[in-house]
Amino acid sequence: MAKISFKGVGITAMSACVPKGVVYNKDLGYLIPPDEIEKTIESIGIVERRIADDDVTASDLAYQAARRLLDDNDIAPDSIDVLLFISQTSDYRIPATSCILQHRLGLAKTTACIDLTLGCSGFVFALSTAMAYASMEGVHRVLLLDGETFSKIVNRKDKVDWPLYGDAATATLVEKGDFGASTFILNTDGSGEDAVKIHAGMRHEIVSESLVEREREGGNIRTDLEVYMDGMDVFNFAISKVPRGVKKVLQETGHEINDIDYLVFHQSNKFMTDFFIKKLKFTPERVPYCIQKYGNTSSTSVPLTIVSELYNKLYGHKKVVMCGFGAGLSWGTALVDFKDCQISPVIEYEREVTKQ
């Protein structure tokens, strides 16, 4: 367990961008028996999802989220000292997508740019990195961009994964300021590497056979370049680790559960989150959900939930517990001190008009 605490740095602004394209799980009759669709929707809690066009990437969504944040808060691009981009669906293997975003956003060439990758726990881990940089002498502003287009790595004939995932991106500004303590507890169990995985890559060479769709467990269909998830393994992992993670961060910071203003979970599925709430005996009204309209957006789901559901609710000092968990296996919990956070409304991706 890594316990990391910060004081005097915090989140001052957030924004989010989602694709315009909407798909509805009620239309999955080709994949799920029609008499089971409503039961599936009720269990996972996902009514609809946003899916990016084929030529729209995670960085495109992140760029527009970042532009909205900078414009709404009158932030000069050259005032950003560090740019972090976290994603499992970055634009290229090489170069780092953060470098591409630095140029597109017009940030100074003195900006330090770094790509991070992890999974559904990614935002919590990346936020600790952003706060670590912001705590350093010589760094005042860190822009954390989080973008995922999982629709590009999930087979639409995979009845386990396709009903779950949506696409989105968020922007989070971390700065020095009059903030109380924020504490992170970060954990990893690499023995569970097979629970969520794309088989082909560096260890298993990509060959022509990697592109062939095959029927897998339970009749699911995918290629070796598309994501596999063992739902039961992930479920058992999450219910054993997540409530304990929340209790641990409260214990380490001397708080009781009712001291918390909001509890924000990774939006994996509604059944699981409902279980967490009951286990922790927390007020359901203070646990925001956005899974019903965006689905599981992987690492972006925690910040997307905050932007979507806590807009205009984080003024004054608020204590928010965030918890992300997933591939790796990894899980991270953070108690973050918010103060007058400026949250922009969620925007839809707009194609840029190319000047002739």
For the segment 78-98, what is each residue's pLDDT rounded down to a tens digit?
999 999 999 999 999 899 999
Rounded to an integer, the average pLDDT of 218-227 is 78
Lowest average pLDDT, out of 27-36, 130-139, 146-155, 318-327, goes to 27-36
Helix 270-280 with 34-44: angle, nearest 10 deg = 40
* Tokens of residue 11, six digits: 């989140």
CA distances from 293 to 53, 92, 335 (A): 18, 29, 26
Whether the predicted pLDDT of 279 surpasses 70: yes
Q: What average pLDDT does the structure give for the chain? A: 91
Contact between 43 and 271 (Cβ < 8 Å): yes
- Quick one: pLDDT at residue 1? 64
Domains and CATH numbers, the chain: 1-349 (3.40.47.10)
Rounded to an integer, the average pLDDT of 232-237 is 86
**Burial call 293-328: b when 16+ CB within 10 Å, e when fewer:** bbbbbbbbbbbbbbbbbbeebbeeebbbbbbbbbbb
What pLDDT, in 10s, does the model give residues 133-174? 999 999 999 999 999 999 999 989 888 889 999 999 999 999
- Please give the helix or strand (H or E) that residue 41 lies within, else none: helix 34-44
pLDDT band at 354 (very low <50, low <70, confident <90, very high): low
- Quick one: pLDDT at residue 14? 97
Q: Other C-beta atoms within 10 Å of 231: how many?
A: 15
Hey, is 35 helix, strand or coil? helix
* Tokens of residue 257, six digits: 């559960």
pTM value is 0.93
